[in-house]
Amino acid sequence: MSAIQDLLDSALATNLKHQARSLGFDLVGIAPASPSRFGDYFRQWLDEGQAGQMSYLGGRFDERVDPASYLPGAASVICVGINYQVPLKPVPKSERPHHGRVARYALGDDYHELIKTRLHALADWIRDAVPGARTRACVDTAPVMEKELAARAGIGWFGKNSCLINAKIGSWLLLGEILTTVPLPADGPATDHCGACTRCLDACPTGAITAPYQLDARRCISYLTIEHRGTMPPELEPRIGDWLYGCDICQEVCPHNRHTPDATDPALQPHFPTGSLDLREVLSWSEDDYRRTLRGSAMKRVKLAVLRRNAQTVARNLAGSVPGHG
């Protein structure tokens, strides 16, 4: 009977993965819904203040480190990934002193809505296939350790820059998860292929990657331009360079991103073809301009006042007026 059940479970997992790919997910794997093995490290990281102003990370700690606390009875986690690498047009040379760069994940439609809609469709499929099954769909706003779960599911390995890296797609990955009470055969974890490479550590302008696999969010340009409120730390402001929203430096230098295929999903094509915005326009935006320009974009995570602060920082950096810039 056990052998028959194993075959049924294996067939269900195979069909589930096929369904996930048909919904537009490039990668899919299954992890056991066991507690995080990084719980103690995560608590220490929070206690040391390395989360900066992201107090929400510790607000639901028990749920975050144990999927079964978030969904009682959780047995498996279906992890998915979508490639968001897109080619960008060059900014004309004469315009470069006036443009601030935007991290690639935020250039297309808001990935939260994109992924959540597809996860709900996949969760519906699971409940139809297994009557009585319970599910919970998650994107990065949910209290889950999504990179650890994806690594367990074989989606990729933890890079030294703390990004998840897939051998074929690289690290340009948007992640999502479905917690379910259905016990499914788990996939094996991916093998770490970072080796002796330290390009991401060497390239980080602010020294946010304090050691391999360790990140101090307070120094990260993505944190500073998106999550941090108030004035920029003076010692880090010139190191933000031309990043208006987010940062991709540690991914741009990663050897595993040299031959990443381009994303084909229309929803992920860039709203801003150069991957940048004119700082003069951002600084002149009204609230209506802000809402109209960023409609449907993940960039709306930050308010206009924060974008203006970032634009002013980048403008000073590009003009060389911040001491130490360049």
Catalytic residue among 9, 109, 140, 192: 140
The torsion of the CA quartet 277, 279, 283, 286, rounded to 10 degrees, works out to: -20
How many CB atoms sit inside 10 A of residue 103's CB? 22
Nearest to 213 by CA among 149, 144, 275, 164: 164
For residue 169, give the 3-state DSSP assignment. coil
140 a catalytic residue: yes
Tell me the C-alpha distance between 31 and 208, whole Å: 29
- Measured N-to-C along each axis, helices 111-129 and 2-22 cross at an angle, to the nearest 10 degrees, of 150
- Which of helix, strand or coil describes residue 175? strand
CA distances from 88 to 23, 95, 108, 270, 311 (A): 26, 15, 12, 8, 21
Distance between CA atoms of residues 301 and 133, nearest Å = 33
- As annotated, the active-site residues are 140
